[in-house]
Chain A
Amino acid sequence: MKPAELTYHRPGGVSAAVALLAGLGDGARVLGGGQSLVPDLNARRITPEHLVDITGINTLRGARRVAGGVRYGATTTHQMVEDGLVPDAGGGLLTRAAAGIGHRAVRTRGTLGGSLAHADPAAEWPTVFAALDATVEVCGARGVRSLPARELPRGAFRSALAADEIVVAVEVHGLMPGRWWGLYKTAGAGGSFAASLAVVLFDTDARGGLCEVALWLGAARETPVRLPATELLLTGRPAAGLDVAAVLPGVAQDLGTVDGALDHTARHTLRIHAATVCRALHRAERVGRSAGTEEGRAP
């Protein structure tokens, strides 16, 4: 399994990369960390004539604090997040998400921007950044534009990026101290990719009940989905008492299904999602005063 013949380009700047992509048209693919692209190249599932490697663009790697949050360059690797080489705007959420991606030897190459552009419904970053309502900055031949991370995936492995556009950065508003985050991945066969991925953010009221809940689910549909009915169902209740039976009706409603009408496989899948939501809730951690240093316990 070797890739088909291809031409390799390694531009040194964003404008050069965009110009190349605009000039090469459909025969070109952007190469980030390559951890999803290269398996497809090796198997010849895709046979682009040109690869435009953007990992040589120094300005795209690394992160910096901006007002109210952190701006992550597109080629920042999962390992940089995992190892705390960049700030964690999620108060620990990003670090947890990064550490769960593939394996260490994949995380050292795989990039945040690459993951967003690849739009794998079972990948971590699309769901995490959707839950955090991050903003993605992209650059193309017609210039720079920003769009919500929630609007970047347009289907399984389809994104809102034009052929000449690359992800430049993703900007995340920092979670406020005291807010809770939970992430749980139930791995599918093979262990790397998610069969279900739940990301939950919430506050707690005076009685320990959940409020201001944001609950997102990956690997359930072609793109990450928000679960508003489940959020409502959770509101006012403490996380500790919630079990699969309790959240299942909400998850079913959010996924537009009726448990009784499904076959065994689909009913089981629904339960995996509900169980994943529960696990994210039960393992939730509280954002400390300075993000990532102080850990709380689930209420």
Chain B
Amino acid sequence: MNVKPPLRNTGHGVGAGCPRLEDARYLAGHGRFLADVRLPGTRDVAVVRSPVPHGRLRSVRAPDGVSATEVWTAADLAPLARQLVATSKLPGYRAAALPNLAVDTVRYVGEPIALAIGDSRATAEDLARRIAVDIEELPAVVGHRAALADGAPRVHREWPDNIYATTSGSVGDVDAAARRAAVSVTREYTVGRQSPLPLETRGVIAHYDRTDDQLVVWTSTQTPHLIHDTIAELLGMPGNRVRVIAPDVGGGFGAKCTVYPEEIALAAVATRLDHPVRWVEDRAEAMVATTQGRDHHYRLTGHAAADGELLALEADIVVDAGAYSVHPWTATMDASMASAMLPGPYRVRNYRYTARSVASNTTPLGPCRGVARPAACFGIERLIDDLAHELGIEPYAMRMRAMVGPESMPYTSVAHKVYDSGDYPEAVRRVSELIGHRGVRARQRAIDPHARTRIGVGYGSFTEQTAHGCLEWASRGLAVTFGVEGARLVMDATGSLTLSVGVQSQGQGHETTLAQMVAEVFDIAPDRVAVRHGDTAHTPRGDGTFASRTMVMAGGAAYGAADLLAERVRSIAAVLLDEPPGQLRLAHGSVVGHHGERTLPDVAREFCLTPDHVPGVEGGLDVTYYYRPEVQTGAFAYGTHAAVVQVDLDSGEVELLDYAVVEDCGTVVNPLIVDGQIIGGTVQGIGTALMEEIPHDTSGRPTVTTLGAYPLPRAIDVPEIRVGHLRTPSPHTVLGMKGVGESGAIPPPAAIGNAITDALREFGAWIDRTPMTAARVWAALDRAPAPGPPHAPVDTGAGGRAGAP
């Protein structure tokens, strides 16, 4: 399947920027999100949650006179469902059960303790308020430093410390390289805790259908089959008695691809009730009970040669992963990915790292668009700029000098990642043109030194592993390894096509792009293909939509299924047209031979309604294809972002004046959708860079618990983003596609952090953490050494040597 057939340029298949097929229902208000699902007799659930970060749960008592089926505690659930334990094969990994409802300890604000059921959400909340919870508050572990401190309280009492896992490695000879270096720079960088914050919160409806003898669980998830398997396992039910349905999902961004306690708890409760139960997370819950992202802390040392070559890299990485390991990612995913992706697009051959995942009394960490990469990118890219500054080289020129060149592809990185294709330096060159680098430098020179604003330009380069196979996931120690995706394609008697896939869409437009894959093969309009997803009863097995994998994996499966079905259709038409199948082709919705043609509806009608007209053709018009990439190291998307900022020296306020992206995600199926992913991801990254944070007070309580207090980027907060494309098909995927879902979110903190630092170079101030709020930028200026003389970097071009400073 990895042979690249030529694209047909039909105008509606691969490469067509057609509007999305799913738009109409959303625009009419007919989307069906979880809270919109109406099952007769449904009762609402409110969840009682821990108000404290750490405490001994002494008792949970239902009010007198309340039916036993209306209040559920851990004790009530215990006979119905086992607790989930996220396991990992990483050496030294410490597991801890994630309770469905807290048993004897609460470990973060928001941890579920009990369920209250009422006729409406309001009455369920009334009941929840009357449940008496007695908690003895314990000292909390707040922040990664406290978690690692000697004598720190322990999040999990049975552990000797607060470390989920430590991984480390050493490649090459860092010390020898350091001795050769013209400069060595050591810096600490932090990327703060944030929320993935899909606009639709989570939610679960569970119902035991006694007609079908089946537990039906509706949940707002990115991974319906994973939820299905986990519920069946923890409830001890055969999989064929469990059905999971993800309806329209209002954004995920990683928040909806772990298995949550509420999913297990409601499923368990539903088996004992004669009515559906529904829990719709409200925003106050979502701010504490949905997994959060980032919270990365780096101490990095870079060693560079005078010409900008990156000789060696040393990294001490700590990720505060919160109170529990979530399934299937575990608490170690961010740290292990950070260490693997830190070398980024650079040719460095000497690398030494330690990566620790630590536990604290905060909401569990989970995937968050880009996962570890926005933070790793912030670390390495800020370091590159600081090295370039020391060397007196333009930062973009140093990048081009130090990057893996196209002549080296495929290239195995120092962290053993196989970069498959592309021209990394060209992306830097292109974006520096797009942003007007020389013009920005000229404007900087023209600024009156007495002015109270400065401007700066900064870059962030990245590579992103997408659509990798099982072996890559196994290397991270995961108990579930993703790497196979199924698609079933059916042609009915009218000749219309239905594609069923195990992935799920949270806005990525798969009902359009997967239809385009089929349309490419059959040369038909995509709207003749109905794409079904999200229901485990009606879709072949699939892993779900995360890790920028769907277009490659499910796209590959859809394309494979379309190929198989096309072969079947040709064999039928061969009988009808009395021509050998090999001389038939699919064009404009027909099977075309040398002597005649038959439309697809014709062929379907003949085969389905009068099979006697088509003797000798076996099977039905129904095929299932499972795609598994032969090369499992993934298709690496890459690119460089550039930002121009203006910084107010009095207030520290940062204004984004300009923002440009040059990226390469290989073959593009739908440019309208790809641009939407890139721009949307970039704006999320701008949120990470400048705005979004969930801080905690010294007791461990989060201090941002409402949407009003959580600054999500608004339309006026972001500039027009200009996007340029490079197109290098991946040699490893069907049609050469690479994933694109996360890439936009990765480099903005780096590009913006570098731009702010560039603006403030003359004062000796630098940016070392996100979000770069006005207060932090001002504090960086205020702490800076006495202002030195203005420093203009020397533009040496790629590979050039630094001039005299």
A residues lining the B interface (CB < 8 Å): 1-5, 39, 43-44, 186, 189-192, 243-245, 264-265, 267-268, 271-272, 274-275
- CB pair A189–B709 under 8 Å, yes or no, is yes
* Interfacial chain B residues near A4, Cβ < 8 Å: 126
Among B709-738, those with CB < 8 Å from A are: 709-711, 714, 716-717
Residues 116-145 of chain B, each 1 if its beta carbon lies under 8 Å from chain A, else 0? 000011100110010000000000000000
- Asked whether any CB of chain A lies closer than 8 Å to the CB of B173, the reply is no
**B705 to A: closest C-beta gap in Å:** 10
Q: How far is the CA of A39 from the CA of B126 in the complex (A)?
A: 17
- CB pair A190–B650 under 8 Å, yes or no, is no
Q: How far is the CA of A264 from the CA of B691 in the complex (A)?
A: 19
20 A-B pairs whose Cβ atoms sit less than 8 Å apart in the complex: A1-B125, A2-B120, A2-B125, A3-B122, A4-B126, A190-B710, A191-B711, A191-B714, A264-B775, A264-B779, A264-B782, A268-B651, A268-B652, A268-B775, A271-B650, A271-B652, A272-B774, A275-B650, A275-B651, A275-B653
A267 and B709 contact, Cβ closer than 8 Å, known pairs A43-B284, A189-B691: no
* Interfacial chain A residues near B126, Cβ < 8 Å: 4-5
- Asked whether any CB of chain A lies closer than 8 Å to the CB of B778, the reply is yes
* Interfacial chain A residues near B773, Cβ < 8 Å: 189
- Asked whether any CB of chain A lies closer than 8 Å to the CB of B648, the reply is yes
**B110 to A: closest C-beta gap in Å:** 14
- CB pair B122–A244 under 8 Å, yes or no, is no
Q: How far is the CA of A226 from the CA of B709 in the complex (A)?
A: 27
- Asked whether any CB of chain A lies closer than 8 Å to the CB of B708, the reply is yes
* Interfacial chain B residues near A191, Cβ < 8 Å: 711, 714, 716-717
Q: How far is the CA of A268 from the CA of B709 in the complex (A)?
A: 19
* Interfacial chain A residues near B452, Cβ < 8 Å: 243-244
- CB pair A192–B708 under 8 Å, yes or no, is yes
- CB pair B651–A271 under 8 Å, yes or no, is yes
- Asked whether any CB of chain A lies closer than 8 Å to the CB of B282, the reply is yes
Residues 281-312 of chain B, each 1 if its beta carbon lies under 8 Å from chain A, else 0? 01110000000000000000000000000000
Q: How far is the CA of A68 from the CA of B679 in the complex (A)?
A: 53
* Interfacial chain B residues near A268, Cβ < 8 Å: 651-652, 774-775, 778-779, 782
**A190 to B: closest C-beta gap in Å:** 5
**B102 to A: closest C-beta gap in Å:** 21
**A247 to B: closest C-beta gap in Å:** 10
- CB pair B121–A271 under 8 Å, yes or no, is no
A190 and B283 contact, Cβ closer than 8 Å, known pairs A264-B775, A274-B650: no
Main secondary structure of the interface of B (DSSP, over half): helix
A44 and B775 contact, Cβ closer than 8 Å, known pairs A189-B711, A190-B711, A272-B651: no
* Interfacial chain A residues near B709, Cβ < 8 Å: 189-190
Q: How far is the CA of A100 from the CA of B87 in the complex (A)?
A: 52
Q: How far is the CA of A2 from the CA of B691 in the complex (A)?
A: 29
Q: How far is the CA of A105 from the CA of B176 in the complex (A)?
A: 64
**Which partner residue on chain B sits nearest A189 by CB separation?**
B711
* Interfacial chain B residues near A245, Cβ < 8 Å: 650
Q: How far is the CA of A2 from the CA of B120 in the complex (A)?
A: 10
Q: How far is the CA of A274 from the CA of B648 in the complex (A)?
A: 13
* Interfacial chain B residues near A267, Cβ < 8 Å: 782
**A45 to B: closest C-beta gap in Å:** 10
Residue in B121, B648, B651 whose beta carbon sits within 8 Å of that of A2 in the complex: B121
- CB pair B125–A44 under 8 Å, yes or no, is yes
Q: How far is the CA of A268 from the CA of B775 in the complex (A)?
A: 6
Q: How far is the CA of A136 from the CA of B779 in the complex (A)?
A: 42
**Which partner residue on chain A sits nearest B693 by CB separation?**
A189
Q: How far is the CA of A189 from the CA of B710 in the complex (A)?
A: 7
Residues 771-803 of chain B, each 1 if its beta carbon lies under 8 Å from chain A, else 0? 001110011001100000000000000000000
Q: How far is the CA of A274 from the CA of B283 in the complex (A)?
A: 35
With A2-B122, A190-B710, A264-B783 given, name 8 new contacts (CB 8 A).
A1-B282, A1-B283, A3-B122, A39-B708, A186-B651, A244-B452, A268-B779, A275-B651
**B545 to A: closest C-beta gap in Å:** 29
Q: How far is the CA of A39 from the CA of B706 in the complex (A)?
A: 10
Residue in B283, B284, B707, B778 whose beta carbon sits within 8 Å of that of A271 in the complex: B778
Residues 653-690 of chain B, each 1 if its beta carbon lies under 8 Å from chain A, else 0? 10000000000000000000000000000000000000
Q: How far is the CA of A268 from the CA of B653 in the complex (A)?
A: 11
Q: How far is the CA of A85 from the CA of B518 in the complex (A)?
A: 57
**B762 to A: closest C-beta gap in Å:** 18
**Which partner residue on chain B sits nearest A263 by CB separation?**
B779
* Interfacial chain A residues near B774, Cβ < 8 Å: 268, 272
**Which partner residue on chain A sits nearest B649 by CB separation?**
A244
**Which partner residue on chain B sits nearest A103 by CB separation?**
B714
Q: How far is the CA of A265 from the CA of B775 in the complex (A)?
A: 7
**Which partner residue on chain B sits nearest A42 by CB separation?**
B282
**A293 to B: closest C-beta gap in Å:** 28
* Interfacial chain A residues near B782, Cβ < 8 Å: 264, 267-268
* Interfacial chain A residues near B648, Cβ < 8 Å: 275
**A194 to B: closest C-beta gap in Å:** 13
Q: How far is the CA of A275 from the CA of B710 in the complex (A)?
A: 24
**Which partner residue on chain A sits nearest B705 by CB separation?**
A43
* Interfacial chain A residues near B706, Cβ < 8 Å: 43
* Interfacial chain B residues near A39, Cβ < 8 Å: 708
**A96 to B: closest C-beta gap in Å:** 17
Q: Which 3 A-B pairs have the closest CB atoms?
A: A2-B122, A244-B650, A1-B282
* Interfacial chain B residues near A275, Cβ < 8 Å: 648, 650-651, 653
**B586 to A: closest C-beta gap in Å:** 51
Name the residue among A1, A39, A268 with the largest chain B CB count within 10 angstroms: A268
**A176 to B: closest C-beta gap in Å:** 33
Residue in A1, A186, A192, A272 whose beta carbon sits within 8 Å of that of B284 in the complex: A1
Name the residue among A4, A44, A191, A274 with the largest chain B CB count within 10 angstroms: A191
**Which partner residue on chain B sits nearest A3 by CB separation?**
B122
Q: How far is the CA of A191 from the CA of B653 in the complex (A)?
A: 13
* Interfacial chain B residues near A265, Cβ < 8 Å: 775
Q: How far is the CA of A245 from the CA of B653 in the complex (A)?
A: 16
Name the residue among A2, A245, A272 with the largest chain B CB count within 10 angstroms: A2
* Interfacial chain A residues near B779, Cβ < 8 Å: 264, 268
